[in-house]
Amino acid sequence: MLNDRQERILQMLEQKSEVQLSGLKEVFPNVSVMTLRRDLISLENEGHVVRTYGGAVSTKKLASINGEEDAYTSRAAENVEAKITIAAKAAGFIEKGRSIYLDAGSTIMCLAKDMPDDNYSILTSGANIALELIKKTRTSVVATGGLLNRNTLSMSGPNALSLLDTINIDLAFMAASGFSIDNGFTVSNMYECELKRKVVTRAKKTIMLLDSSKLNKDLPFTYAGLEDIDMWICEKKLPSDIISKAKSCGVKLM
């Protein structure tokens, strides 16, 4: 049974379809953020919401979204705690004064939100990530441009590849849709595969952000293997066979 505060949150969701913890804290100033987070967990368990990074979305809103956009929204709402954990670890490796690439993807979006407003030079292929970063007043943002994929909100194609030829990348934070020892890091879109492969080739250091739900999944196109990356950040310890292979390739696991 829901308490009065949770019923109030449901009423807010009826009006706005989504809520943020920061907004809830303003409505309930005498309630801790931890308690409000537990309220959202209860509402999720009851089937009323899907929790997202920093808030929640009404399940009615998710049900009303059709086509490929629904696939992105649903994916962003999956394994949220794992993505937040990975983003928090990754944030510690972002340095000022370096050229940084942020790949597209919901885990990378968590990282973009987690970054402080500081003097960073960011190149990204994620349209939504670029819009999130531009909210920061001190961060320089360059988008790759190109063909926009409605499913991933990633921009790729020949124009994006050409831009990469003109930009140096110190550090690249990458994502993938699947990983297996046999086929490496894989995605479903050929153009995105080409873009990611080029980024990894040009970056001085590559950090993979990939949660455990993607393990032992193969998509059609491979853009990198363990030998192509420098670090893999996951929310929990990887299986022993992957650890062994990663160590043989000199990959640091976090």
Q: Considering the entire predicted model, what is its pTM?
A: 0.72
**CA-CA distances (angstroms) from residue 183 to 126, 172, 180, 225, 229?**
24, 21, 5, 7, 14
Q: Provide CATH code, domain 4-64.
A: 1.10.10
Cβ atoms within 10 Å, residue 158? 12
Give residue for tokens 């952000």. 209
* Assigned CATH for 80-253: 3.40.50.1360
Q: How far apart are CA 137 and CA 135, in angstroms?
A: 6
Other beta carbons within 10 angstroms of residue 14's beta carbon come to: 10
One digit per residue, pLDDT tens: the chain, 254 residues? 788 899 889 888 887 778 888 889 999 999 999 999 899 888 877 778 777 767 888 866 655 544 434 455 555 556 677 888 899 999 999 988 889 999 998 899 889 988 888 888 999 999 889 988 988 888 899 999 888 887 778 898 888 899 999 999 999 999 999 999 999 999 988 899 999 999 999 999 999 999 999 999 999 999 999 999 999 999 999 999 999 999 999 999 99
What residue ranges do the domains of the chain occupy? 4-64, 80-253
The CB-side HSE value for 181 (13 A sphere, CA atoms) comes to 12
E-assigned strand segments in 125-239: 140-143, 147-148, 155-156, 169-174, 178-180, 184-187, 203-209, 221-224, 231-233
